[in-house]
Amino acid sequence: MIASTPLWRYALPDSTADFDRTVREALRPLLLRLAEYEALLTRLRSHGGKVRDLKTLTELMVEPVPFPTHRPDADPVCLANVRRTRSALAHLDWGLALEVRTGPHGFPHHYLFRARSDYFGRYTAILEDLHRSAAFDEEDPAQNRFFPVTGPSGLIRLLRLSALRPVASGLVASRRCRIQAGGTDFPAATGAEAPEGPAVPSPWGGWPLETDELLLLAGRHIFRHAWHEDQRLALAAARLLDLPAFRDLVQVLYLLLGADLSRLRGVCMDTELCPAFASLVETGCGNAFLARVLVDLSELSSGRIEALHSWAESVYSDLAKEFAALMQLRQGFVGFPGRQPLYRMLLAHYRRLDMLRSRVTPALAEAGSRLERLAASVSQ
């Protein structure tokens, strides 16, 4: 008898298996060069240097990197020739991408990652960070969920699931060990890397045994709804005023209002995939409320799912009114001339939220506490 395949397993993108070892070996020289460049640049930024250090930095940029190529007459791969490096990466694997940005001191910063498109999803997902300069984390300190790149049709944003990869790899490694030992229950996340070697078949053929596949499924069913670019201002306010319950509730409401709850319930009824999603959300994102919602969703009937959607609309309306009042609050910071509303201050100092935190007035702190108490009462 052939085991039936769950519907959520169909039509996954190609190459969902974990990265091939031969490709990793081919990337090793380039990764070593990027690490060497980043180490020297970090030392120059923190401790300063001499003219010979700048000469060394230039040599690291222009010196050719050993790299497999399909054209013997092509230009050598080096950090200074970004177009040639991108072409060589695309020939090696179509999901590899290199983004280069100019830092505050005029030096280039590099981000080498691996992405996959989900034809059923809204975003292309970044599955693994191969090299990421610290300067990229400074661009978006309050969110870091989306990464903007320039595509053929303009600016696009990639869903950055690579931050969840250590947790997802630990879940896959734990499940493989359980299968090998003959167990059926799903353990908690361990954070360990998935062991190498061929995947062990699941007893029923339903568990996604590769880390890439788990991340893609979580991005399709959960994060492409729970995370949204419109949450940027709300997440900045949550970070500034320390509002964890409000931050978690926003993600839950976006999921309940944006996802097809009937389809999501079908996915959550999977006795192994749902605990994996819950562990990924709770351990990787720190959102225990969203993890509880995923677990409870599998037990709801059709009528209760419709009522849950109506409840989410009501809560979202109340929360939006309270948040709008918070954003219009003036006199929120000590030492700033004028009476600018909070949303303008957040947008103007988006990358300097730590500086604003020490200047929050008692009135602004109390308004944030009211919003946090409302979110906490809903979460409970």
Instruction: Give the residue with greater pLDDT, 10 vs 229.
Output: 229
Q: What's the average model confidence in pLDDT over 354-369?
A: 89
Give backbone dihedrals phi and psi of 118, rounded to 5 degrees, phi first: -115, 115
Instruction: Give the residue with greater pLDDT, 302 vs 227.
Output: 227
Q: How much of the chain, in percent, has pLDDT values that exceed 70?
A: 82
- Provide CB contacts within 8 A for 240, sequence distance 6+: 142, 346, 353, 356, 357, 360
Distances (CA, A) of 8 to 94, 217, 235, 273: 25, 8, 31, 10
Asked if pLDDT for residue 16 goes beyond 50, the answer is: no
Asked if pLDDT for residue 248 goes beyond 80, the answer is: yes
Asked if pLDDT for residue 204 goes beyond 60, the answer is: no
Asked if pLDDT for residue 74 goes beyond 50, the answer is: yes
Q: Per the structure block, which two tokens stand in for 27?
A: 């990337």
What was the pLDDT predicted at 270?
83
Asked if pLDDT for residue 140 goes beyond 70, the answer is: no
252-286 pLDDT, tens digit each: 999 999 999 988 998 888 888 888 999 999 999 99
Q: What is the mean pLDDT of the chain?
A: 82
Q: What's the average model confidence in pLDDT over 169-196?
A: 60
Q: What's the average model confidence in pLDDT over 59-65?
A: 93
What was the pLDDT predicted at 30?
95
The CA distance from 251 to 265, in Å, is 17
Closest CA to 131 of 159, 111, 161, 101: 111
What was the pLDDT predicted at 348?
86
Task: Report residue 172's pLDDT band, with 50, 70 and 90 as the boundaries.
Answer: confident
What was the pLDDT predicted at 119?
73
Q: How much of the chain, in percent, has pLDDT values that exceed 90?
A: 42
Asked if residue 127 lies in contact with residue 215, where contact means CB atoms within 8 angstroms, the answer is: yes
What was the pLDDT predicted at 5?
37
The CA distance from 286 to 244, in Å, is 9
What was the pLDDT predicted at 205?
41
- The two counts, helices (H) then strands (E), for the chain are 16, 5
Q: What's the average model confidence in pLDDT over 108-123?
A: 84
Q: What's the average model confidence in pLDDT over 55-74?
A: 85
Coil, helix or strand for 347? helix
126-139 pLDDT, tens digit each: 999 999 998 887 66
What was the pLDDT predicted at 132?
92
Coil, helix or strand for 301? coil
What was the pLDDT predicted at 19?
62
Instruction: Give the residue with greater pLDDT, 18 vs 357.
Output: 357
Asked if residue 162 lies in contact with residue 141, where contact means CB atoms within 8 angstroms, the answer is: no
Tell me, letter by letter, the H, E, C secondary structure of 16-71: CCCCCHHHHHHHHHHHHHHHHHHHHHHHHHHHCCCHHHHHHHHHHHHCCCCCCCCC
Asked if pLDDT for residue 193 goes beyond 50, the answer is: no
Task: Report residue 11's pLDDT band, with 50, 70 and 90 as the boundaries.
Answer: very low
DSSP state of 360: B
Asked if pLDDT for residue 13 goes beyond 70, the answer is: no
Segment of 57-71, 75-89, 166-180 carrying the highest mean pLDDT: 75-89
